[in-house]
Structure 1
Amino acid sequence: MAGRRGARSGRGWDAIPPRAGAGMASDDAAAEPRRSSGRRGRPGGEEPPSGEGPPSGGEPQRDQDGRIRGRSEPPRSEAEVAREICLRQLAVRPRTRAELAKALLRKEISEEVIAEVLDRYDEVGIIDDAAFARAWVSSRHHGRGLARRALANELRQRGVDPEVAGEALEAVDDEAEAEAARALVDRKLRTASGTPDAIFRRLVGMLARKGYPAGVAIRAVKDALAARDAEAAEFAEALDADALADEAGGPES
């Protein structure tokens, strides 16, 4: 019996299994996979690099130039950047060579690249100062009623060569300028109020601001007033257009 009791108290079939202790993992713990405390698919809970990939369920994040954030792109040449700037400018309205050059200088494009890009645009007709000047004169004369002097000033501000501008301004001759002045006055007279003298001065000033010479402006307003009513006609009859033009600085002032 003692032998049998000894056998039962040993390490045989009925021995009490040892407890899981320090340095000994239980079978369940060994079998259970290690859980990550981070995001699924990223070991150790690493955060994704800033800007990597689109946010969950959304569109890719883009910068102000439309490029996807975090996506590396090959560096662009200075000429490519210059062409992109020019095309953005031209998408708004036609530009002269001088206007494009000024825009490129503001973006710190070198003068060599500016000349290279704009020369190429000249060759293929993307920029054409002569065509620009003709279109500008036609639009601003018929649309805004501007006279040659005002048109010449606007073309000069946009860097158009004086000779090129002069050729474009030939489309507005003396007759066209006088007709445009009279049309402006007739339109303003429909809603004008006040004494004939006040109306006369106001309309002559309006034409002067649009670039009309004093002689053209005074005659246009005098003729329009003469056809308005008896009071205005009497006032106009007393006006000496030539003398007033000379006083203002000459017929072409």
Structure 2
Amino acid sequence: MEAAATFLGVRPRSVHETRRRLIHHGYRAELVEGVLERLGEMGYLDDEGFARAWIESRDRSRPRGEDALRRELSLKGIDGDTIVAVLADRAREPSVDDEAESAAAEPTSADRAAAERLLERRRETLLRDADPRKRQQRAYALLARNGFDPQTCQEVSARLLK
């Protein structure tokens, strides 16, 4: 229990991550399952809460598209139904950018808002290139590498860098 508490003290973890870590450190599977159950009852392990926190953190610090978030959560051992539910909630929640634009235009999707934040952070670097078409290509590639769908990449890169 102490090893799990120490591991969870660094940052929130999924049940899968915690199980893998404890087994890696040589704890018996039966003991690990008991500890995981107890930690779940105590509220320290909650895959849905972990997924929500992961997405919120990503949206703030390293914006990613829905595909990339789905892949990351899957690698963390979050089940598909939980991922779908959490990403659906993300799509319905208005972001800070949406609230600012509510009177001006249609509300942007969570992916579009994340893409805009990512390009805004890299804007100075992207604007170094004098050729607008090349700038847009680089912006598109940046967004695509970060898991944004082609339509979002096209719309956001065209609008923000011209």
TM-score band, normalised by shorter chain: 0.7 to 0.9
Normalised to the residue count of structure 1, the TM-score between the two structures is 0.54
1:204 and 2:140 matched: yes
Query: Retained in 2: the 8 A contact 1:141–1:147?
Result: no
* Alpha-carbon RMSD: 1.5
Residue-by-residue CA offset, 1:176-198 (whole Å, 9 max, x unaligned): 21122223223423342121122
Task: Map 1:42-191 onto structure 2 (within 5 A).
Answer: 83-173=1-91, 175-191=109-125
Q: 2:66 & 2:75 partners in 1: Cα distance? A: 14
> Paired residue for 1:220?
156
Residue-by-residue CA offset, 1:80-99 (whole Å, 9 max, x unaligned): xxx12101101111111111
Normalised to the residue count of structure 2, the TM-score between the two structures is 0.82
The residue matched to 2:89 in structure 1 has which SS?
Answer: coil
Q: 1:187 & 1:115 partners in 2: Cα distance? A: 43
Residue-by-residue CA offset, 1:126-182 (whole Å, 9 max, x unaligned): 211111111111110232111111111111111111111211112332712112222
Number of residue pairs aligned between Structure 1 and Structure 2: 144
The residue matched to 1:170 in structure 2 has which SS?
Answer: helix
User: Hey, which of these two has a bigger chunk of helix by percent?
Assistant: 2
For structure 2, which runs of at least 5 residues remain unmatched after alignment?
92-107
Q: 1:91 & 1:158 partners in 2: Cα distance? A: 17
Superposition deviation, residue 225 in structure 1: 3.1
Larger CA Rg, structure 1 vs 2: 1
- Match of 1:219, as an amino acid? E
> Relative to 1, partners in 2 of residues 1:87 and 1:186: Cα closer, same or farther, differing over 3 Å?
closer
For structure 1, which runs of at least 5 residues remain unmatched after alignment?
1-82, 227-253
Residue-by-residue CA offset, 1:67-108 (whole Å, 9 max, x unaligned): xxxxxxxxxxxxxxxx12101101111111111110111122
Q: 1:183 & 1:128 partners in 2: Cα distance? A: 29
Query: Retained in 2: the 8 A contact 1:133–1:165?
Result: yes
- Match of 1:156, as an amino acid? S
**Percentage identity across paired residues of the two chains:** 31
> Relative to 1, partners in 2 of residues 1:187 and 1:104: Cα closer, same or farther, differing over 3 Å?
closer
Structure with the larger RCO, 1 or 2 (CA within 8 Å, 6+ apart) = 2
Q: 1:112 & 1:180 partners in 2: Cα distance? A: 42
Q: 1:214 & 1:180 partners in 2: Cα distance? A: 14
